[in-house]
């Protein structure tokens, strides 16, 4: 019997407290208000501490990521400086060789425009991108665009201050391309493009680089992609060659347009 006294008493007191509004009692109401005023600043301080801590952690993570990205970019800049020095040495050697052999040497100097990508293909097939440069910067249809070593595509529509670039993923994209010392036609597609008119005896292997090759021009050999699949379906005299584009278009935010039409 005694074992039920304490629980029963606690239950009874809880019922009494539930039905009696102590805040209406004059003395208890003052105590309640005092405690509320005393505790509220502490709760507010706790909330501020939590919010400030969250902001500090977010700022730290952001600055950490920015620092890592800056270090990566600095390394790339140093590498590009080295490449530039190497290219300068090669150019001087070619000049000396051309003078010795009495062969004209006129390296191309291209005018370029930097542009930001402002919109992607909403279908998810990455067939085009929109950039924030257009007629106001001398861009016209037929100009190539690239990012790093990779080809983005070709300008197919130009407006006042924006342009549309048809990418290497578009089935309407075709361009002269090369693999090794062989010339082919690259046709775009999603998720892979293809090489056209590849003869059965042409040696093309998975992993080979497909690059821009413009006949009679000295355009830089930007990477279009890499050979992903080679097979013969038993029809005709040509192989089927699938090409995986080099760039992930969705990760391209800044690109370069060469202001010279093909």
Can you give the residue ranges of every domain in the chain? 2-53, 112-261
CB 185 within 8 A of CB 174: yes
Highest mean pLDDT among 53-62, 164-173, 199-208: 164-173
pLDDT given for residue 220 in this prediction:
79
Torsion angle, CA of 34/37/42/48, rounded to 10 degrees? 170
For 11-43, the pLDDT digits (tens) are 666 655 555 555 555 555 666 666 666 666 777
pLDDT tops 80 at residue 253: yes
Question: Which is it for strands 163-167 and 150-158: parallel, antiparallel or unpaired?
Answer: antiparallel
What gap in Å lies between CA 235 and CA 141, rounded to an integer? 37
Considering the four listed CATH numbers 2.40.10.340, 1.10.3720.10, 1.20.58.220, 3.40.120.10, the one that applies to the domain covering 112-261 is 2.40.10.340
Q: Could you tell me the CA-to-CA distances from 72 to 66, 77, 79, 247, 249 in Å, in that order?
A: 10, 9, 11, 19, 20
CB 127 within 8 A of CB 121: yes
The whole-model pTM stands at 0.63
For 97-148, the pLDDT digits (tens) are 877 877 766 666 778 899 999 999 999 899 999 999 999 999 999 999 998 8
pLDDT given for residue 261 in this prediction:
84
pLDDT given for residue 215 in this prediction:
79
């Amino acid at each position: 019997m005694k074992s039920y006294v304490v629980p029963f008493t606690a239950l009874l007191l809880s019922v009494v407290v539930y039905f009696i509004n102590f805040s209406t009692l004059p003395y208890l109401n003052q105590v309640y208000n005092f405690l509320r005023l005393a505790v509220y600043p502490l709760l507010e301080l706790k909330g501020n501490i939590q919010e400030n801590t969250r902001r500090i952690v977010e700022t730290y993570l952001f600055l950490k990521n920015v620092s890592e990205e800056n270090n990566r970019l600095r390394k790339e800049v140093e590498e590009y400086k080295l490449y530039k020095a190497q290219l300068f040495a090669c150019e001087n050697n070619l000049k000396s060789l051309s003078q010795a052999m009495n062969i004209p040497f006129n390296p191309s100097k291209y005018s370029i425009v930097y542009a930001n990508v402002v919109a992607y293909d909403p279908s998810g097939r990455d067939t085009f991108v929109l950039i924030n440069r257009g007629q106001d910067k001398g861009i016209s249809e037929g100009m190539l665009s690239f990012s790093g070593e990779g080809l983005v595509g070709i300008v197919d529509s130009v407006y006042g201050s924006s342009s549309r670039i048809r990418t290497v993923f578009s089935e309407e994209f075709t361009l002269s391309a090369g693999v090794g010392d062989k010339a082919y036609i690259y046709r775009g597609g999603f998720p892979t493009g293809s090489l056209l008119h590849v003869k059965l005896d042409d040696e093309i292997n998975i992993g080979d680089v497909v690059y821009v090759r413009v006949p009679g021009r000295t355009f830089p050999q930007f990477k279009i992609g890499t050979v992903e699949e080679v097979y013969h379906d038993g029809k005709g005299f040509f192989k089927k060659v699938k090409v995986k584009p080099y760039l992930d278009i969705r990760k391209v935010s800044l690109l370069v347009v060469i202001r010279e039409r093909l």
